[in-house]
Amino acid sequence: MENSIVGVVGAGAMGSGIAQVAAQAGHQVILIDQNEQALERSQSALEKVCSRLVEKGRWTSEQSTAVQDRIQRTGDWSLLEPCALIIEAIIEDLDVKVGAFQQVERIVRDEAVIASNTSSLSLTAIAGKLRRPERFLGLHFFNPAPLMALVEVIPALQTDSRHIESALALMKHWKKEPVVVRDTPGFIVNRVARPFYGEALRIAEEGLADFATIDGAMRTAGFRMGPFELMDLIGNDVNYAVTRSVFEAFYFDPRYRPSLIQRQHVDAGWLGRKSGRGYYDYTEKTTNRDANHAESAWILDRILAMLINEAADALYLGIASAQDLETAMTKGVNYPKGLLVWANEIGLQEVVNMLDGLHARYGEDRYRASVLLRDLATEGKLFNC
């Protein structure tokens, strides 16, 4: 598929970013959207990006023109007919996505591969509604797609294995770092990262530390942003929706329970940077993020123990390989180091002790230690990563 025509359905930020990545890799791209204004915004945004890259000397004018000329923006779905790969990047709604894919299937050739950029929906459920489910899989890019290296490659239960291999090769050709993930709620990143937000919210709910102190503790450990800063950047509505989706998909496992604090922020319209206020007030010239400098190492310990436990459980359940788990968290959400490596450095028994201490204190299944983590700790072994 290296020299094939690529179709992208949806000209929002993600779809436009994916189209740019494909064009930079040399593909002709058909970018589909029924909204003419979305197509215009997409073109204008790419022009600005290309101009900046030329100004900084990273691209020549010829490279800039070539990338832009490779993308054809249209509302005409029939132009997808010659595409060898079509990637959907529209609203996270199962019925809407299924409708789009069924329309694509009526147009494209039988050998075309069809992919979804969904971040949380079941690929197997979507594939089950398609005429040829064996050619369908997930390609989950991270925002902004031209800058973020990670792509989660998610086969549906019905996906032909040869399409997994070709997708991995293509993503590498696009200079991405692909990881293979089983089709489970949240895949790797949106599953393993839940405690980064959830446990931080739990600490705040208990009144044990304020937002700025929790954020400061995590930044001190090497995270680029603390959980509340990051939720404000992502949007509390988006983060809350993903949390609810994962919670419901796991049949209400308490490890993924949403937070009342976050729901109240969403209800108040305090969505973060995009609304001017979230956990911090962005309408002021300076946002107060001065941390309480009292001893806060326990905050990192508690959140990190939960993150490690989630990574260990994902490995135990065969969601992904150890290496792919490490790649996903360092390349997808820029963690300072892989969680399994971090666990080895801390000591697996120490992590188990922290979790057991939380379980004893709260009596909640939320803090149960992963079987794999406990087994390795008991045997005095480390994660092989």
Percent of the chain residues topping a pLDDT of 70: 97
Residue 89 has pLDDT above 80, yes or no: yes
Q: What are the residue ranges spanned by the domains of the chain?
A: 6-180, 190-385
Residue 118 has pLDDT above 90, yes or no: yes
Question: Of the residues 119, 120, 259, 344, which is catalytic?
Answer: 119
- Tokens representing 288 are 């107060």
Look at residues 230, 232, 200, 224 and name the one whose alpha carbon lies nearest to residue 213: 200
Question: Of the residues 16, 88, 122, 140, which is catalytic?
Answer: 140
CATH number of 190-385: 1.10.1040.50
4 is catalytic: no
Is residue 31 packed enough to be buried (19+ CB in 10 Å), middle (13-18) or exposed (0-12)?
buried
**pLDDT, average across residues 242-246:** 91
> 2: pLDDT confidence band, cut at 50, 70 and 90?
low
DSSP state of 174: T
Question: Of the residues 88, 105, 152, 229, which is catalytic?
Answer: 152
pLDDT score recorded for residue 355: 98
Report the chain's terminal Cα–Cα distance, integer Å: 31
pLDDT in tens, 128-139: 999 999 999 999
Determine the topology of domain 6-180 in CATH: Rossmann fold (3.40.50)
pLDDT in tens, 269-312: 999 999 999 999 998 765 566 656 557 899 999 999 999 999 99
> 3: pLDDT confidence band, cut at 50, 70 and 90?
confident
134 is catalytic: no
359 is catalytic: no
pLDDT in tens, 149-170: 999 999 999 999 999 999 999 9
- The mean predicted confidence, pLDDT, of the chain is 95
> 120: pLDDT confidence band, cut at 50, 70 and 90?
confident
Question: Of the residues 16, 64, 120, 190, which is catalytic?
Answer: 190
